[in-house]
Amino acid sequence: MISVFELFKIGIGPSSSHTVGPMRAARLFAHGLGPAVRRLRVTLYGSLAWTGKGHATDRAVILGLAGFEPETVAADAADGVIARIERECRLALAGGHDIAFSAGDIVFDGTAEPPRHPNTLHFAAFGETGPPLAQDTWCSIGGGFIVREAEVGTPPAETPAVPHDFRSGRDLLARCAGSGLAVADLVLANETALRSPAEVEGHLDRVHETMMACVDRGLAAEGELPGGLKVKRRAALLRRRLDAGGNARPPHEVMDRIGLYAIAVNEENAAGGRVVTAPTNGAAGVVPAVLRYYRDHCPGADRAGAHRFLLTAAAIGGLFKMNASISGAEVGCQGEVGVACSMAAAGLAAALGGSNEQVENAAEIAMEHHLGLTCDPIGGLVQIPCIERNAFGAVKAIAAASLALRGDGTHQVSLDHVIATMRQTGADMQSKYKETSQGGLAVNFTEC
């Protein structure tokens, strides 16, 4: 089982696979180093090498080596730490001693082909002279999840038993039917088999609050996003224009609001702010935008409904994670915005009282119309087309949930069929369209 604690992680932008994952891997490596270490070398491969600078991978690695965690590091504090290390050329290792360190100790190797996963980073620690005293290779497999390179593609380690283990959409529906539980209640039963109900509810509340706070910050912030593309934040201006609309409001304005919520979150993510991976940072705006729509625009919305939303979304995200991928570097943006849309559609359908079959149908519809979506960030930055792509993903999630709720849950193509198709489509997709900035908009926009 992939827990809501794993799928919904609180961290910082701009990327879960290129920022959150590398920070976690670096921190784990640094904690195992002894006092004999005098210098480090970190080598980034594949997508981490191609788009790592735009995704702040080098900054994330430095912060991880210094002992910081994505969930608790403050963006302002991170800037100060990085500035001090760059100025002094010294790094205080996590739980250890100071060593000499400079930008050249992080190598962006865009030539060597990583054998197991496109998001690969290698750590090596040296003494005064001689071969490495310690080394390790990690892969950041999407959504902030990390595994050692040797473990990529291997069955997961044995985990504690849960009362309702499921590995497919068909299995999920069968277990719900057999137990008489809704998807959200079945997931909750699994979670509370591992943790106390208070702990689970506390995490759901923190995730909800963090998402809503991110929307609010994004709606208020102005200025230019970092990275060199000179992209101006739009959410605050769009909000003011919507609020000034007066009484003559067009029926489609609610779609503008939904897109606005997603844009607000992804502008915060692009600026390195605090977001929730849902299931990734690049797709972090879809689930909060649809959840905000539920909270502010759906009569009868309440805390219990928000919990149903998140628990159901986690079940769907877990199926994609287990049976395909949520890594843009592995399957393209269909694995990020596409999965987020599927999660949000299922969550909204559940929160609005949909049956288990309607929930599964909503998830299937949402992903079906994201198949083949490439990951082609201009300049390696999670800005264009990523920010607007989240806005459209949120609108499509609501459309998918609405369409499913107006049916009876029966449909031709199952969620499992769509997950399998997404996995195969990702395998067939050329690597230049999978978070390398070597194809698509990333190379063609200047010619328009």
All structural domains of the chain, each given as residue ranges with its CATH number in brackets, are 16-151 (3.30.1330.90), 169-433 (1.10.4100)
Quick one: DSSP state of residue 261? H
53 Cβ contact list (under 8 Å, min separation 6): 108, 380
Residue 431 — pLDDT band, cuts 50, 70, 90?
very high
**Residue 46 falls in which region: left (phi positive, over 0), alpha (psi -120 to 50) or beta:** left
Between CA 35 and CA 443 the distance in angstroms is 46
pLDDT of residue 447: 42
Quick one: DSSP state of residue 232? B
Task: Examine residue 279 and say whether the peptide bond preceding it is cis (omega within 30 degrees of 0).
Answer: yes
Q: Which two tokens stand for residue 3?
A: 């827990």
Q: What proportion of the chain, given as a percentage, has pLDDT over 70?
A: 98
Distances, alpha carbon 133 to alpha carbons 123, 125, 212, in Å: 11, 6, 45
Selection from 440, 436, 382 nearest residue 54 by Cα: 382
138 Cβ contact list (under 8 Å, min separation 6): 21, 22, 25, 28, 29, 120, 121, 123, 146, 147, 148, 149
pLDDT of residue 157: 65
Task: Examine residue 385 and say whether the peptide bond preceding it is cis (omega within 30 degrees of 0).
Answer: yes
Q: What is the pTM of this model?
A: 0.92
Tell me the pLDDT tens digit for each residue of 240-296: 999 997 777 888 899 999 999 999 999 999 999 999 999 999 999 999 999 999 999
Q: Which two tokens stand for residue 345?
A: 């559609």
H-state helical runs in 298-336: 303-323, 328-331
Between CA 167 and CA 145 the distance in angstroms is 18
Between CA 133 and CA 110 the distance in angstroms is 25
pLDDT of residue 448: 39
Between CA 153 and CA 264 the distance in angstroms is 35
How is 81-150 classified by DSSP, letter by letter? HHHHHHHHTEEE-TTS-EEE--GGGEEEE-SSPPSS-SEEEEEEEE-SSSS-SEEEEEEEEETTEEEEGG
Tell me whether residue 148 is exposed, middle or buried, using C-beta atoms within 10 angstroms of its C-beta: 0 to 12, 13 to 18, 19 or more. middle
Tell me the pLDDT tens digit for each residue of 72-126: 988 778 889 999 999 999 999 987 899 999 999 999 999 999 999 999 999 999 9
